[in-house]
Structure 1
């Protein structure tokens, strides 16, 4: 297993206490564009996508082996683990959000809004009330590279909420390319990245279903932002072109974890959620850190 030096760049003294392994382990290195990491604690494995190759892979923590979990995979992108340990997937090829049941069967949670098919669901989170929130940019229909080229059936790229009863509502409609999203630990705040505008916005969540605010929280100084996660100290970790950017709740850029490839997403895993798994262009990296990820959902 190849190892790469882990370089934490301190930009604010509050980041000086953040660190971890001196080396990142490159646990996978044969992708075209890796994305959608989700850690399954019950099985001690990581699931992730290799979108252009239309496959979902699994890395086994106990053996280090990587195998194909699903291919073809409908150009699956982001995913999350719900409260019952089921994987919820954004499928760019079929333009829908699905859930893998415990018996392996697939349930379609949503594939359209008011009669029009989604563009290409990208990333997803679950609220503690059981609702599913996801972003819907157009990357999967813009070309045949990571989906199927098609004309859009909706009036733009928006953010949606699937009610536990199955109803779909649009919760934000002023993005160009909504991408990564993450709730704060108390679920009172939702952070959403706009990869076209190269920034992250911060919304107040009311009643578990309505968003207000939406001011720009942080702008990217290296490419654009992609996937987002929070740690238990309220810091926001965002994938960017030079690695992971770490922001304080007051929006100060505290520091960066540099990665030798363009990063797409991240997830905290392991029994204590203190292993950081990073998807980055052709590879997946892992390192143990001295911070803990927020437990999702609560």
Structure 2
């Protein structure tokens, strides 16, 4: 059966240059989650790992003992998370929108419509000290199971959205190239936004003379950036879900018919993500510090990475466990 029709939009990708890894990615041990698909991993204020699973549970895990507990159940598919000081968690839920899980485990919807349309594919979220919430959406046309459709057609329907403390919701940056990971600067002067389909990370300034301006921090990545985390080491840690696909790159500047044909190929012969586990780290000027990769099958399809006090962990949309990495 033919797949959903795509609406190809021409775009010329930056040249593919790959300096290679700085070191191998080594998995020290695996932490069972009790489910599958820990798409985003974050550290809460007590040092526990928090993640959301495919069955809707929000789970907290002790990185030393592996002891885990369930904080809440969203009734949807949780993706990006932001831990709050009170023990609650902000949740980007693919199915239900922007949610909050309170410390008592109750779940409440904060945003379910944006610009008069249902909020779908909310991706990642942060909160400022005054209670302003910022979140990304990846696409308004595709769901999680068919997210590659957005990469192939490149219609750029992702967004950066602000929710003010009074509940007002405003789209600040439209037309993101699959908006994804989101990080708030330590002084809250800017946001860092990953554009998965743009192979780049952008800086959106919130304060100072350049407030409202957006610039590129890192561009021309050799892979697809996903969730991000600002570590206690001061580095921006970035999960790279997969390497760029040379065939897709060649088709993106045009070739609408060929892109449609590629998208409608049988699953067995369609372009696939190369099997790799890949994380990177940059300083806040955009200089690469770490580039860790593994192709030995020890882990794969890394969609998140977080560091705290020398402990480095990775999550995956498809794995059952969280990987503790050797840094």
Sort the TM-score into its range (normalised by shorter chain).
0.7 to 0.9
Report the CA distance shift for 1:199/1:213 in structure 2 as closer, same or farther (over 3 A). same
Q: Corresponding residue for 1:180?
A: 181
Paired with 2:143 and 2:175, the residues of 1 have a C-alpha distance of 23
User: 2: distance between equivalents of 1:86 and 1:57?
Assistant: 12
Could you tell which deviates more after superposition, 210-219 or 60-69? 60-69
C-alpha RMSD of the superposition: 3.2
Flag the 1:47–1:146 CA change in 2: closer, same or farther, 3 A.
farther
Q: Check if 1:212 corresponds to 2:213.
A: yes
Higher relative contact order (CA 8 A, sep 6+): 2
The aligned residue for residue 284 of structure 2 is 249
Distance in 2 (CA, whole Å) between partners of 1:29 and 1:126 is 26
Mark the structure with the bigger radius of gyration.
2
For 1:46, the equivalent position in structure 2 comes to 49
Secondary structure at the counterpart of residue 145 of structure 1: helix
- TM-score, scaled relative to structure 2: 0.68
Partner of 1:27: 31
TM-score under structure 1 length normalisation: 0.74
Aligned residues: 258
Task: Assess, with a 3 A threshold, how the Cα gap between structure 1 residues 45 and 250 changes in structure 2: closer, same or farther.
Answer: closer
Q: Distance in 1 between matches of 2:291 and 2:279?
A: 5
Contact 2:72–2:106 (8 Å) recurs in 1: no
Aligned to 1:134: 135
Give the SS at the match of 1:83.
Answer: coil
Higher strand proportion, which one?
A: 1
Residue 14 of structure 2: aligned partner: none
Partner SS state of residue 202, structure 2: strand
SS at match of 1:179: strand
Mapping of residues 1-298 of structure 1, within 5 Å: 9-10=21-22, 24-28=28-32, 33-42=37-46, 45-51=48-54, 53-61=55-63, 63-66=65-68, 70=72, 73-94=75-96, 96-138=97-139, 142-143=142-143, 145=145, 156-206=157-207, 211-221=212-222, 223-232=223-232, 234-240=234-240, 241=242, 242-259=277-294, 260-269=299-308, 273-280=309-316, 281-282=318-319, 283-287=321-325
- Cα distance, 1:245 vs structure 2: 0.9
